[in-house]
Structure 1
Amino acid sequence: MSQGSHALVVGEPAPDLTLPDTHGTPVSLAGLRGGPVVLVFVPFAFSGTCTGELCELRDNIADFQEAGVHLAVISCDPMFSLRAWAEKEGYAFDLLSDFWPHGEVARAYGVFDEASGHALRGSFLIDAEGVLRWSVVNPRGEARPLAAYREALASL
């Protein structure tokens, strides 16, 4: 498995990004400045582990809202797949498509799996000034626990 060579360092600026949401509207990290952001990279729309993780985030979105945190999920799936997934599961947070150039943002965050063409399970908390404050990357098939997000949010 070949991950991106960009090892992100807590305390350093996070790479900027601009990706389309489920309706094709560009969302940029720079445009979200002024408030903290959690980026959640997932391998595949509609897969069991990813759906379980995002449903848990959906069901606990108040944790993020109360902390003033913008939640954005990033996948290498096409925009239309992400829209169908969001509609089926009732996700009210941003799902952003890193489909083309394929995996470019996942590479910038060091979570693109070149061998299989998808993002690894990486999560990143970026503060209001665009500085990386926390990150976790889990192995294939291993969901990120909600407790890890809660701990990161408490550190803000």
Structure 2
Amino acid sequence: MAVNVGDDAPDFELQDQHGAPVRLSGFRGGKNVVLVFYPLAFSGVCAGELSRLRDELPTLGGEDGVQVLAVSVDSMFALRAWSDREKFPFPLLSDFWPHGGTAERYGVFDGGKGVALRGTFIIDTEGVVRWKVVNAIPDARDIGEYRKALAGL
């Protein structure tokens, strides 16, 4: 089942790269969320996308009004190693078990490959999906589109 613009974002709780629980609903009333699903840590296109998010976070609203949450099926241990190496300032969330369960709830899980598609959902402070894009696994997303969508909130 796909999540569409105008829908309430399905709540979830996943562990970040440090093993701490992160719940989507914890940002309600405080921050807009850029929820980024990506296939795998340590892969070329994923590294490029998340590095660009890291580098351009201040132009998206930074720590003040925007929270980036990046989700993959990797274990928290792999995510910790990758985050430490790349110095990502946002949580990398492990959708490891049930395998891809959160990606599936958002309609971006590729069951044949066992990984998430490149899906991004911008969720406002009330928990409503205000923008989304879903790209195939090899196709990088345009961060400029994130900026435009966030400016419209």
Q: Is the 8 A contact 1:121 1:139 kept in 2?
A: yes
Give the TM-score normalised by structure 2.
0.95
SS in 1 for 2:65: coil
**1:6-155 equivalent positions in 2, closer than 5 A:** 6-34=1-29, 35-66=31-62, 68-155=65-152
Shift of 1:145: 0.9
Aligned-pair identity in percent equals 56
- Name the residue aligned to 1:3: none
SS in 1 for 2:22: strand
CA RMSD of aligned residues (A): 1.0
Q: Which amino acid aligns with 1:143?
A: A
Shift of 1:106: 0.2
Give the TM-score normalised by structure 1.
0.94
Q: Is the 8 A contact 2:2 2:106 kept in 1?
A: yes
**Unaligned regions of 5+ residues in structure 2, if any?**
none
**Unaligned regions of 5+ residues in structure 1, if any?**
1-5
Report Cα offsets for 1:29-56 as digits up to 9, x if no partner: 1111112111000100000000000111
How many Å separate the matches in 2 of 1:48 and 1:100?
24
Q: How many residues align?
A: 151
Moved runs in structure 1, 4+ residues, more than 4 A? none
Report Cα offsets for 1:44-89 as digits up to 9, x if no partner: 0000000000111111010233571110100000000001000101
How many Å separate the matches in 2 of 1:78 and 1:84?
10
